[in-house]
């Protein structure tokens, strides 16, 4: 049985005042029936860990090495030391803004696991790729290249985030999400075996809001969501958590 996960990615948003939203969320869900994760900017990690209540705290990115001459970067060990239990790797904004490759993302995911963090590995096609019929090829390549060979359902969560749905208010149709998550599950099965593949949690991400969460969470192979904009306000994210709880 896969435990559902509601993950919020604050991206480059939030200073100290934002911690009030985290405290409010913790108060709204004192014992959530699903796992809840908030990934604030790294500057807030340790303070978020202090006021998180039952909510897990994650980072948005890590360096593949443990330490060394990498000005401005943070290692997985440092993030764990600051109170993170998860880290997002391979978000499309990092793939685009920082030119991150599948091989680099795989190395980051391995570093995360080595430091005891759960890696939330993001994959997703652009609009041009979907329109040209290349979605499955792109996703299979990203899955093969970004997910470490020794990944397990305990160490790794997969987030499917169509690039064209992130921050746009546009989402794929429910049929498209169903088809794509089914494809991802099947691709994991061909690499890791059916039993392991059944254990991996597959999150959908891209313009998840209180208004569409219930429909998305009712779909097969959708084990939760990775939420950007709607995770910034406790009320909005709470409504998404409630929808996920209702779907379990």
Closest to ligand PGA by CB, 77 vs 226, is: 226
Integer Cα distance of 243 and 113 in angstroms: 30
Q: Smallest distance from the beta carbon of 174 to ligand PGA, in angstroms?
A: 17
Closest to ligand PGA by CB, 7 vs 22, is: 7
Integer Cα distance of 52 and 183 in angstroms: 35
Active site residues: 91, 161
Closest to ligand PGA by CB, 104 vs 166, is: 166
Closest to ligand PGA by CB, 158 vs 227, is: 227
Can you tell me which residue has the tokens 């014992």? 31
Q: Smallest distance from the beta carbon of 171 to ligand PGA, in angstroms?
A: 9
84 CB contacts (<8 Å, ≥6 apart)? 45, 49, 57, 58, 59, 117
- List the Cα angle 163/88/74 in 5-degree steps: 125
Integer Cα distance of 43 and 213 in angstroms: 29
Q: Smallest distance from the beta carbon of 32 to ligand PGA, in angstroms?
A: 19
Residues 227 and 205 sit within 8 Å (Cβ to Cβ)? yes
Residues that bind ligand PGA (CB under 6 A): 9, 161, 166-167, 205-208, 226-230
Closest to ligand PGA by CB, 37 vs 78, is: 37
Q: Smallest distance from the beta carbon of 131 to ligand PGA, in angstroms?
A: 19
116 CB contacts (<8 Å, ≥6 apart)? 80, 85
Q: Smallest distance from the beta carbon of 44 to ligand PGA, in angstroms?
A: 17
Integer Cα distance of 25 and 234 in angstroms: 5
């Amino acid at each position: 049985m896969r435990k559902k996960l509601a993950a919020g990615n604050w991206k480059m948003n939030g200073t100290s005042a934002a911690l009030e939203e985290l405290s409010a969320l913790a108060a709204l869900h004192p014992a959530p029936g699903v796992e809840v994760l908030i990934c604030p900017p790294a500057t807030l990690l340790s303070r978020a860990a202090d006021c998180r209540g039952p909510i897990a705290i994650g980072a948005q990115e890590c360096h593949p090495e443990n330490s060394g001459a990498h000005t401005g970067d943070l290692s997985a060990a440092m993030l764990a030391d600051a109170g993170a239990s998860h880290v997002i790797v391979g978000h499309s904004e990092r793939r685009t803004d920082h030119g991150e490759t599948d091989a680099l993302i795989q190395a980051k995911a391995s570093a995360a696991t080595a430091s005891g963090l759960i890696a939330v590995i993001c994959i997703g096609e652009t609009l041009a790729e979907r329109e040209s019929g290349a979605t499955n090829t792109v996703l299979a390549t990203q899955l093969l290249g970004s997910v470490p060979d020794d990944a397990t359902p305990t160490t790794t969560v997969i987030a499917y985030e169509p690039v064209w749905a992130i921050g746009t208010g546009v989402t794929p149709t429910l049929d498209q999400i169903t088809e794509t998550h089914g494809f991802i599950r099947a691709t994991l099965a061909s690499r890791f075996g059916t039993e392991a593949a059944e254990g991996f949690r597959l999150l959908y991400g891209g313009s998840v809001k209180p208004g569409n969460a219930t429909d998305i969470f009712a779909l097969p192979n959708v084990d939760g969501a990775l939420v950007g904009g709607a995770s910034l306000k406790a009320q909005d994210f709470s409504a998404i958590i409630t929808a996920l709880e209702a779907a379990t």
